[in-house]
């Protein structure tokens, strides 16, 4: 979310940014919010003047009450008339103040609701394009290989290992859920445990956060559009199931003043994630690529504004290093302007190679959100000079095993149907080096 003062001082820049994000329907909101801001500040100024008048009138009445007690019967009516006139003015001012305070509240609520949907200013390096078709490949890591044998669909690989039961999950919970079993379930846990230790070794603090958060935290960490398409609300309570642990990890700092000497805060968190997956993508009925429930290891950084781009670069490279350690080819894909969520300044995807599809698919998403989440959540940093400023927040997927499992199984599948276990995962699999098909 932008600062209203920034919008007031830079309306053309804000409009140009909206155009770059191909959201022209939001252009009228800039003029509307500026008009509301002018009216709101005028109402605040008028209310302040009336309060000052009331204060002066009350002060003036103090000596008049003293004079009234000592005055002769002849002078009392004149003094009383002055007191009554002052009190009448205070009453009239209070009635006007009540109306102005009501207006101020209405203005503030409307301004806030508009500011929530005006997109953040994107970084100048972001490629311009309307949607993900305009995303730009930046770099590849590892050689994508297509074996000389057919690679089955990922759920078929799992079924041959007796590792998944989607039919039972459908009966119990519906589409978008699964049971993982045996070696595949163990591999799922191994990936998460390895990712946890990988991040700890990189200096990140391991966290297990709350899996439910209040509505004001949801509003603080994500756009309204994403919220409606993603979040499950607990009926009758001000609680939402998290769609990613980033939500509760950034929410940890709501209304907090962070000492500057504690920055950067580098955290890695485990959580289950719950998503409606409404919209264009929808739920994948056959596989586990897009589902309602999954588990994930996340990385989060809260840092000084001048350090955020360096952290952005470091974070996505950590994802590359992690995937390459498991012998999975990946590429970095720069997200274009139209593919950026409204809070994001810059974002990229790390995509893993799919030998079956002969293309890459998303497994990680790294984002720099600038000070947008900090402003919404009222997070502040107290500098060494005592002055307050807003920190920058960043997040990136470490691993989300359903998609990671797809990449791992496809890239390590052998012609006989067995699956080799990357060396780094073998200690987490009890030394197992290969999974043999049961069917």
Residue 100 has pLDDT above 70, yes or no: yes
Q: What are the beta bridge partners of residue 333? A: 137, 349
Residues counted in the chain:
439
What are residue 234's phi and psi, to 5 degrees?
-80, 120
Q: So what's the architecture of 132-435 in CATH?
A: 2-Layer Sandwich (3.30)
Instruction: Read off the DSSP letter of residue 234.
Output: P
Which 3 state secondary structure label does DSSP give 213? strand
Which of 187, 168, 193, 190 shows the shortest CA–CA distance to 178? 168
pLDDT at 60: 78
Instruction: Read off the DSSP letter of residue 413.
Output: B
Angle at CA of residue 427, ends 425 and 428, nearest 5°: 65
Q: What are the beta bridge partners of residue 334? A: 136, 348
pLDDT digits (tens, 9 = 90+) for 245-266: 999 999 999 999 999 999 999 9
pLDDT at 436: 96
Give the span between the Cα atoms of 422 and 323, in whole angstroms.
10
The listed CATH number (1.10.1740, 1.10.3470, 2.60.120, 1.10.287) that belongs to domain 4-115: 1.10.287
What pairing do the DSSP bridges indicate for beta strands 392-399 and 293-303? antiparallel
CA atoms within 13 A on the CB side of 155: 14
Q: Where in the chain is the domain with CATH 1.10.287?
A: 4-115
Which of 71-75, 114-118, 181-185 has the weakest average pLDDT?
71-75
What average pLDDT does range 108-127 have in this prediction? 96
Give the span between the Cα atoms of 203 and 266, in whole angstroms.
8
Percentage of the chain lying above the pLDDT 70 cut: 97
Residue 381 has pLDDT above 90, yes or no: yes
* Residues 6 or more apart whose Cβ sits within 8 Å of residue 423: none
* Residues 6 or more apart whose Cβ sits within 8 Å of residue 436: 417, 418
Angle at CA of residue 355, ends 276 and 423, nearest 5°: 90
**What CA dihedral angle connects 240, 405, 318 and 325, to 10 degrees?**
160
What are residue 241's phi and psi, to 5 degrees?
-75, 135
Q: How many helices (H) and strands (E) does the chain have?
A: 13, 18
436 near 418, Cβ under 8 Å?
yes
pLDDT at 120: 96
* Residues 6 or more apart whose Cβ sits within 8 Å of residue 414: 420
Q: What average pLDDT is seen over the chain?
A: 93
CA 77 distance to own-chain centroid? 67
What average pLDDT does range 289-316 have in this prediction? 96
pLDDT digits (tens, 9 = 90+) for 194-235: 999 999 999 999 999 999 999 999 999 987 767 777 899 999
pLDDT at 283: 57
Please report which confidence band the pLDDT of residue 282 belongs to, taking 50, 70 and 90 as the band edges: low
Residue 13, token pair as written in the block = 């820049």
* Residues 6 or more apart whose Cβ sits within 8 Å of residue 424: 194, 325, 326
Residue 20 has pLDDT above 70, yes or no: yes
Q: Where in the chain is the domain with CATH 3.30.930.10?
A: 132-435
pLDDT digits (tens, 9 = 90+) for 323-346: 999 999 999 999 999 999 999 999
Which of 398, 344, 360 shows the shortest CA–CA distance to 144? 360
pLDDT digits (tens, 9 = 90+) for 388-418: 999 999 999 999 988 999 999 999 999 999 9
pLDDT digits (tens, 9 = 90+) for 30-75: 999 999 999 999 999 999 999 998 888 888 777 877 777 777 777 7
Which of 335, 332, 387 shows the shortest CA–CA distance to 363? 332
CA 183 distance to own-chain centroid? 34
What b/e string do you get for 89-116 counting C-beta neighbours within 10 Å, with b at 16 or more?
ebeebeeebeebeebbeebeeebeebbe
pLDDT at 243: 93
Residue 281 has pLDDT above 70, yes or no: no
Instruction: Read off the DSSP letter of residue 28.
Output: H
**What CA dihedral angle connects 55, 60, 63 and 67, to 10 degrees?**
-140
- In the block, tokens 């698919």 appear at 361
pLDDT at 278: 64
- Roughly how many angstroms between the first and final C-alpha of the chain, as a whole number? 53
What average pLDDT does range 175-202 have in this prediction? 96
162 near 438, Cβ under 8 Å?
yes
pLDDT at 81: 80
């Amino acid at each position: 979310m932008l600062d209203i003062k920034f919008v007031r001082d830079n309306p053309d820049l804000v409009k140009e940014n909206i155009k770059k994000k191909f959201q022209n329907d939001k252009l009228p909101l800039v003029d509307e919010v500026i008009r509301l801001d002018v009216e709101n500040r005028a109402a605040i100024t008028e209310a302040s003047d009336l309060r000052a008048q009331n204060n002066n009138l009350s002060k003036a009445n103090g000596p008049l009450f003293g004079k009234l007690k000592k005055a002769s019967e002849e002078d009392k009516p004149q003094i009383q008339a002055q007191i009554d006139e002052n009190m009448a003015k205070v009453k009239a001012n209070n009635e006007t103040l009540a109306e102005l305070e009501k207006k101020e509240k209405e203005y503030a609520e409307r301004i806030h609701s508009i500011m929530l949907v005006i997109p953040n200013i994107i970084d100048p390096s972001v490629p311009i394009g309307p949607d993900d078709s305009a995303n730009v490949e930046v770099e590849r890591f590892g050689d994508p290989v297509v074996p000389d044998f057919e690679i089955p669909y990922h759920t078929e690989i799992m079924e041959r290992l007796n590792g998944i039961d989607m039919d039972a999950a459908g009966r119990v919970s519906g589409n978008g859920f699964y049971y993982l079993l045996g070696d595949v379930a163990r591999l799922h846990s191994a990936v998460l445990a390895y990712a946890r230790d990988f991040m700890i070794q990189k200096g990140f603090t391991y966290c297990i956060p709350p899996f439910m958060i209040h509505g004001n935290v949801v509003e603080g960490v994500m756009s309204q559009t994403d919220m409606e398409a993603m979040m499950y609300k607990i009926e009758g309570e001000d609680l939402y199931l998290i769609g990613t642990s980033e939500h509760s990890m950034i929410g940890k700092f709501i209304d907090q003043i962070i000492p500057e000497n504690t920055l950067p805060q580098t955290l890695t968190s485990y959580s289950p994630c719950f998503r409606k997956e409404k919209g264009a993508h929808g739920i994948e009925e056959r596989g586990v690529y897009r589902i309602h429930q999954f588990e994930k290891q996340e990385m989060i950084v809260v840092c000084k504004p001048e350090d955020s781009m360096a952290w952005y670069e470091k974070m996505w490279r950590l994802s590359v290093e992690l995937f390459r350690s498991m012998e999975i080819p990946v590429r970095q894909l720069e997200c274009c302007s139209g593919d950026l969520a409204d809070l994001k300044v810059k974002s990229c995807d790390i995509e893993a190679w799919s030998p079956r599809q002969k293309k890459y698919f998303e497994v990680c998403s790294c984002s720099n959100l600038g000070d947008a989440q900090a402003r919404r959540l009222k997070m502040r940093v107290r500098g060494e000079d005592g002055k307050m400023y807003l920190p920058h927040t960043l997040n990136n997927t470490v691993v989300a095993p359903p998609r990671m499992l797809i990449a791992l199984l496809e890239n390590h599948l052998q012609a006989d149907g067995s699956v080799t276990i990357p060396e780094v995962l073998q200690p987490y699999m009890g030394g197992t080096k290969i999974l043999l098909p049961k069917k």
